[in-house]
Structure 1
Amino acid sequence: MMLNLIDKIGDANPQLLRELKGRLKFFNVAIAVAISLLLQLVVYLYQFREFPDDRYQLTDTYCRLRQIYEQRQREVYQQTNQSKIDEFNSFLSKNFCPENQIDWQFWWRDHWEYIFLSLSVIFIFTLLVAGTYLLINDLAKEERRGTLNFIRLSPQSETSILTGKLLGVPSFIYLIVLLALPLHLWAGRSANIAFSYIFSYYAIVVSSCIFFYSGALLFGLVTRWFSGFQPWLGSGAVLFFLFMTMAMASYYGNSLNNSGAWWRLFNPWDVTNYLFPNLFRVHNGSPLKSLEFFYIPLGTNIVSVVGFHLLNYGVCTYGIFKALKRCFRNPQASVISKGQSYIIVAFCQLMMWGFTLQYRGNLFDLDRQVEQNFALMALYNVGLLVSLIAILTPHRQTVQDWARYRHQTSNKSIWWDLIASERSPALVAIAINLIIVSIPWVVWISLTSTFNTDTNPNWAGDNIDRLKSLLALALSISMILIYATIAQLVLLLKTPKRSFWAIGTVGGIMFLPPVVLELIGISSWKNPTIWLFSTFPWSAISYSEATTIFMAFLAQVSVLGFLNFQLTKQVRLAGESATKALLAGR
């Protein structure tokens, strides 16, 4: 029967069979069983350190006489008579709770709940951190041995190979967790936790594993230069993310009322705390109870909370798998295509704006909500756009092939190639992504009443403030386009290690001017004109005239035009044939 099962696995997914045969050997299985049983024993016995004995205090948790003696204690302390206080404390230290007055049913319920919650936390850490490490380490080993290229040449589909990796590589971890599931289920039912909540937790954990494991595979494919440091870096990042979000869930639960709430959906802590409120002993309940998305109350019931988490995991995992399939067969390909970048940027805007618009005392108080999230959303968008510049900008050889052979390989117009072709320069694609990012901001600036003030209530002043904000948005767009053009120009050079030069150049232009200006004491409120040409022009908008902002915008457009003239010239030269370049003396 076992041989038939193995044969069926091999027929359905040969890669999975290869991974299981290499890992589920007798010694490895024995170690996994021993670790799982020892872990369950330790968790089960650890709670017995608080087992009520014959010296159990009258004011301890599980003594039925606790309320009587606590009330008496409060009355004695209110008398502020030190002798009576000492006498009462002496009485408590000498008299203990009778065994028939100990609430054993309550103690056992808490004992099982402790076991259930402890195993729930252990499952998350073990699966996500250890599983991520094993997957990245496996890819690194395959790369060093040269077997990864052999797998790429196999007739299996990318989905089959990657699924086999996801299911087979962490099989040791799966075995440890599966052996602990019976105790976990028994403890949950003994603690009077509904099966619907328990299986909702399982669905969240499984979905988070698929998401993080897919991300681990993608990380392993695109960061080959880290060599043996890859698994430690990847699993360390996951561990840091879990600890940080766990701390946020424990102490800053109300931070879900902002655009950053989307990032917390990727960790299972908040939804686990929602399902089992005693996980972090939060007195006000889980912050997910007040979670909204475009004013839609998601936290009102378990179905909407769990369903939204699963939908988020599903959409993001699907996107990662699309990137995995691109990078697996061709390691030199970009992680995403230009067309996919438009969808990703639009999806990110949808999620960030959805969690920005939440009810906070005054329904549809759009202005205040956007103002409170402005810095966070601007930071996210700058990081997203700069990342897209790094991902989408092609290198010299790719642009050279496109410019030289475009007329032979494509019957589309030049503009279509600039929008969709993976070999063409990425400037038009970055511009389209900037338009997608800007549309919600333009709508908000056009409709908001935040510019109406008591000191300047007339429409003229209001229109000036709106114009300044629109110009500031235009400044940000032109600045990002300048960064994208500079990155493309650097990548067209013939120097070695062009990627590092591009990162250093763009990073220096982005961050060095603001740092230098602050160090020498030139603040945005003292010299706003200089700050209009920095990465953060918004900080100087309120201190600048509309005319000054417009002139700064014209200056940036001039710089952008000059850089693009140089870029067009370089692309044209790169696309010339070797014979033509030789005849022209180049």
Structure 2
Amino acid sequence: MLNKHQLPFTEGFVIMMLNLIDKIGDWNPQLLREIKGRLKIVPVAIAFIISLLGQLVLFLFQLKDFPGERYSLIDQYCTVSKSYRQQQDALYQQINTLNTAISNFKTTKASTTGSLVDLQTELKSANTKSQALSKYLSENFCPPNQLNMQLWWRDHWEYIFLSLSVIFIFTLLVAGTYLLINNLANEERRGTLNFIRLSPQSEVNILIGKLLGVPILVYLVTLVAVPLHLYAGRSANIAFSYIFSFYAVLVASCILFYSAALLFGLVCRWFNNFQPWLGSGSVLIFLSMMMMMASSSGTNFHNSTAWFRLFSPFDITNYLFPNLFHLYNGSPLKQLQFFYLPIGTNVTSIVGFHLLSYGLCTLGIWQGLKRCFRNPNIAVISKLQSYLLVAGLQVMMWGFTLQYVKNYCPPTLVHQRSTDCLYDVNSQIGENFIILGFSNSVLLLGLIAILSPHRQAVQDWARYRHQGVWKNLLKDLIFGEKSIALVAMAINVAIAIIPLIVWIAVAPILNVHHNPSSLGFGNHIHRIHLVFALALFITLMMIYATIAQLMLMMKTSKRSLWAIGTVAAVMFLPPMILQLLTIDPAKNAGLWLFSSFPWASVVYASTTTIFMTLLGELSVLVLLNFQLTKRVKLAGESATKALLG
């Protein structure tokens, strides 16, 4: 029973909660719908219990190492351990030295035995002292007044803080991703997603409601553990500015991953029940790989793919809390540069760069979400957005390629001492050339799949053109949603290779140290080879784009599979056959030039051979485009006749 003092407080609390619910409903009805479906007594109680039990288990797990009466004299928290460890180390070193001396003495087969007997006597005495010390350490323990309990509690709380930080990352990103994708899959299966699409709410409001409401129990589990996390951090003497910087990066990464999960759930509907497991499993694998890389002292960020590692919160967590992985040389983020700007030198710049990266990527994903929510069959990005995407990725990849590394040794001078080497920008770009080429190839192939319209869209576009509705053909090919994607892909390829062309042009100017190769590849690769390699790359990409568009013009319902299969066969079958036949690119360069990996042999082929190969591929490209133009024209004519007839 409530007494008269408790009743007004209870009524006020209930009124306050009702007002809050009304405000949430007014601001975002979709969020209110998700909250009502999840914030029930049993699920909330389970979330509280899971969080509290997890915290208790973590605390007790660390407490098992509490220094007791039988704490060793040489363990970390015994204040006299240093002197005993020094004695142990001195005896071990003496024993090793004597063993080496005796072994050398026996090898030389000296005629006198006096020195050997003296050495053996000293060794026996050292072994006796070592055994006596070991026995003493095993029978005696650290006095209670010599235990540094203040240091132990500090390390104890730091362990809890770092463990909770890692648990937060995995729990929020993996579990939240699964719940969001699974929710969209269930809505799609039940048919309620179509009713939500018909709602007068904006796409942004609906998706924000999903993002905030669907993983709300995961948020609850995490929030219940935040007080312990904060207390453990402050008890471990970690500054609040660093803790809240971690929170800011974690929230930003959650927004990015959850936005990507929503986009994946809307676009990749054909995976059915496997979809949430695929999405969350991919996130789990990505985080596990990034955690292993962040914990390895041999990794660095001096390459063009460094930006992709920043999407994982582990490197910045290790930067903020250096004891996370106990790297002897500290976090590699401290040496991170972007176009030679030292963004890793202080916390503000590196955290700000993380947040900026997360923000830009989240903004791009939300452009796709707004396009696909009402119409899931439309391309994720428009042609104009694809140009911005390719250009933005070039800026990021080249920004991390151009980093100053002190005492940098290019591969051609690797035999020299690092102190004799000088930084060479051409060698650094040359080392990243393959990475840049591979990354751009994957990007452009993905854009071919995204931007190439299917038969019905091309037929509608061709019909309007046949009727004379679309006057400006070039503008339509560059920006139109339903037009074929060849011109758009040509523009994207051009954007991707412009930085490489600029580099090849100015490479001699950058060769300030007069290295034998101005490109940093060695003496056997020159600028003409790279020019031809880029020309072959452009031609091959356009051939793939044309083949994909031709396959998507087929009448069969499996045209997407035909497009993927045909392009994959053209890309991978020739080099696989050449590899199985053990045809060496150095001896049969002409055959490899016609494969999808021409750069494997471009350095060994003559200029005439490369030029003739390029002419042959251009001829194939022209014939394919002639066939595509013919099909598009016929599709427009037949559609117009069917409409007028």
Coarse TM-score class (shorter-chain normalised): over 0.9
C-alpha separation in 1, matches of 2:642 and 2:258: 49
Q: CA deviation at 1:374?
A: 1.4
Q: CA deviation at 1:578?
A: 4.8
**2:65 maps to which residue?**
50
C-alpha separation in 2, matches of 1:433 and 1:225: 28
**1:423 maps to which residue?**
482
Residue 285 of structure 1, aligned match among 326, 330, 333: 330
Q: CA deviation at 1:145?
A: 0.3
Provide Cα deviations, 1:515-546, integer angstroms capped at 9, x if missing partner.
11011111211211111111111111110111
Q: Pick closer, same or farther for the CA change 1:332–1:124 going to 2, 3 Å.
A: same
Please give the secondary structure, in 1, of the residue aligned with 2:71.
coil
Please give the secondary structure, in 2, of the residue aligned with 1:522.
coil
Q: CA deviation at 1:116?
A: 0.4
Alignment map for 1:397-436 (pairs within 5 Å): 397-406=456-465, 411-436=470-495
Q: Is the 8 A contact 2:305 2:435 kept in 1?
A: yes
**1:295 maps to which residue?**
340
Q: CA deviation at 1:494?
A: 1.1
Question: In structure 2, what residue type is equivalent to 1:279?
Answer: L
Q: Pick closer, same or farther for the CA change 1:30–1:346 going to 2, 3 Å.
A: same
Whichever of the two has the greater Rg, that structure is 2
Q: Pick closer, same or farther for the CA change 1:215–1:69 going to 2, 3 Å.
A: same
Residue 222 of structure 1, aligned match among 239, 245, 267: 267
C-alpha separation in 2, matches of 1:300 and 1:392: 41
**1:25 maps to which residue?**
40
Q: Does residue 1:274 correspond to 2:289, yes or no?
A: no
Provide Cα deviations, 1:129-157, integer angstroms capped at 9, x if missing partner.
00000000000000000000000000000
Please give the secondary structure, in 1, of the residue aligned with 2:603.
helix
Q: Is the 8 A contact 2:454 2:552 kept in 1?
A: yes
Alignment map for 1:299-378 (pairs within 5 Å): 299-361=344-406, 365-378=424-437
Q: Does residue 1:523 correspond to 2:568, yes or no?
A: no
Q: Is the 8 A contact 2:177 2:257 kept in 1?
A: yes
Deviates more, 1:153-162 or 1:405-414: 405-414
Residue 502 of structure 1, aligned match among 553, 563, 572: 563
**2:140 maps to which residue?**
95
**1:541 maps to which residue?**
602
Q: Does residue 1:36 correspond to 2:51, yes or no?
A: yes
Q: Does residue 1:475 correspond to 2:536, yes or no?
A: yes
* TM-score where L is the length of structure 2: 0.87
**1:60 maps to which residue?**
75
Q: Pick closer, same or farther for the CA change 1:522–1:87 going to 2, 3 Å.
A: same
Q: Does residue 1:438 correspond to 2:483, yes or no?
A: no
Q: Is the 8 A contact 1:277 1:286 kept in 2?
A: yes
Q: CA deviation at 1:359?
A: 1.0
**1:250 maps to which residue?**
295
Q: Pick closer, same or farther for the CA change 1:578–1:258 going to 2, 3 Å.
A: closer
Please give the secondary structure, in 2, of the residue aligned with 1:60.
coil
C-alpha separation in 1, matches of 2:536 and 2:425: 24
Number of aligned residue pairs: give it: 581
Deviates more, 1:66-75 or 1:166-175: 66-75
Q: Is the 8 A contact 2:459 2:639 kept in 1?
A: no
Q: Pick closer, same or farther for the CA change 1:252–1:218 going to 2, 3 Å.
A: farther
Please give the secondary structure, in 2, of the residue aligned with 1:298.
coil
**1:10 maps to which residue?**
25
**1:265 maps to which residue?**
310
C-alpha separation in 2, matches of 1:205 and 1:409: 53
Q: CA deviation at 1:446?
A: 1.1
Q: CA deviation at 1:198?
A: 0.2
Q: Is the 8 A contact 2:551 2:562 kept in 1?
A: yes
**1:129 maps to which residue?**
174
Q: CA deviation at 1:514?
A: 0.7
Question: In structure 1, what residue type is equivalent to 2:89?
Answer: R
**1:392 maps to which residue?**
451
Q: Is the 8 A contact 2:463 2:639 kept in 1?
A: no
Please give the secondary structure, in 1, of the residue aligned with 2:599.
helix
* TM-score where L is the length of structure 1: 0.96
Q: CA deviation at 1:376?
A: 1.3
C-alpha separation in 2, matches of 1:507 and 1:541: 22
Please give the secondary structure, in 2, of the residue aligned with 1:231.
helix
Q: CA RMSD in A?
A: 2.1
C-alpha separation in 2, matches of 1:46 and 1:468: 61
C-alpha separation in 2, matches of 1:53 and 1:519: 66
**2:85 maps to which residue?**
70
Q: Is the 8 A contact 2:466 2:640 kept in 1?
A: no
C-alpha separation in 2, matches of 1:119 and 1:87: 43
Q: Does residue 1:575 correspond to 2:636, yes or no?
A: yes
Please give the secondary structure, in 2, of the residue aligned with 1:574.
helix
Q: CA deviation at 1:77?
A: 2.5
4+ runs deviating over 6 angstroms: 450-457, 581-584
Q: Pick closer, same or farther for the CA change 1:562–1:420 going to 2, 3 Å.
A: same
Q: CA deviation at 1:468?
A: 2.8
Q: Is the 8 A contact 1:253 1:287 kept in 2?
A: no
C-alpha separation in 2, matches of 1:454 and 1:63: 57
